[in-house]
Amino acid sequence: MAKPNLVIFDFDGTLYPFRPYDSEQTLVLSHAKTKGPLFRLRARLFVRADRKGAFNNPQFYKRYERMIRDVDPALVEKTAKDLAGLLGKEDVEAIRDLATIADLAILSLGTENLAEFFLRELGLREEFFLIKGKRIRRKKGKAYLKVNIGEAEDKRTHLESLRKSYGKIVAIGDGPTDIPMLEAADLGLLLIWGARSSPLPFELHSSLPSACDRAKGFLIS
C-alpha cells in the first residue's frame, strides 16, 4: 500500500467476461473431463444448478470443495491462463495505467488461486497488493477451501477496513454480490461486458478500459 487512493475490483465477470461460465464453473467442468461418466454428470448438474442460483454460499462452497478435491494443481493454473486469453492488450494496459495512480485490490467470492494465476499470465500480479476470496489449500494431496470472503457483505467490511489508509476508494463490480462494496465506495461502478443497460442503480460501463478511465478521472479530480 503506497498510493493515496484505492481501486477494488471483483474478479469473476468483472476482470474478464463470462464465456459462458465463471472461473470456478470452468474449473469444475475441465476437471470433469479427466474423470468418469458419473463424475462428468455430477459436474454438469452442479454447474447447471449454480447458474440457476440454486445454492446459498455455504452450500456452494461445500459442493465446490467436493468437486475439486483431487483436482490437478496444473489444471487450476491452466484454467486461469485460458481465461486471461479473453482479455485484449487494451484491457491489460487500462489496468496497468490505473495502477500508476492507485493501489489495486480484488475482493471476490471467487477463488484466490485462479485470480492470482490469471493476473500472473497477464503480467499484472505485482499491480495488485491484495486478493481476497476463497483459497484452495492442499493437505496430503487433497484440495480444501479456506473461505476469506464468504458473503457479499464481507466485501463491504473489507473495504471499510481499508478506508483509513486511503483518500478515495473506487469499487468496480458486475452484479448483485458486489452491491455492498459498490455502496461503500466513494464511487461504485458497474462493469458488465458489452451491456447497454442494467437494473442496478450504479453507473454502467461495458468495457474494462471505460471503467478504468472513469475511475482514474474520479481519483485525479
| Average per-residue pLDDT for the chain | 98
* pLDDT score of 116: 99
CA distance 158 to 215: 19
Structural contact between residues 40 and 33, judged by C-beta atoms closer than 8 angstroms: yes
Over range 80-86, report the average pLDDT: 98
* pLDDT score of 2: 85
- 77 grid coordinates: 493454473
Burial of residue 85 (number of CB atoms within 10 Å: 0-12, 13-18, 19+): exposed
- CB atoms near residue 39 (< 10 Å): 15
Over range 126-155, report the average pLDDT: 98
Strand order in the sheet with 103-111: 142-147, 128-139, 103-111, 5-9, 168-173, 187-191, 203-205
CA distance 211 to 192: 10
Over range 169-176, report the average pLDDT: 97
* pLDDT score of 80: 98
Render pLDDT for 117-133 as a digit per residue (tens, 0 to 9).
999 999 999 999 999 99
CA distance 211 to 215: 6
Assigned superfamily of 5-17+88-220: HAD superfamily/HAD-like (3.40.50.1000)
Over range 62-71, report the average pLDDT: 98
Q: In the chain, what are the domain boundaries?
A: 5-17+88-220, 23-81
Q: DSSP state, 189?
A: E
Closest CA to 203 of 190, 185, 213, 219: 190
* pLDDT score of 194: 96
Render pLDDT for 51-60 as a digit per residue (tens, 0 to 9).
999 999 999 9
Over range 191-209, report the average pLDDT: 97
Render pLDDT for 33-43 as a digit per residue (tens, 0 to 9).
999 999 999 99
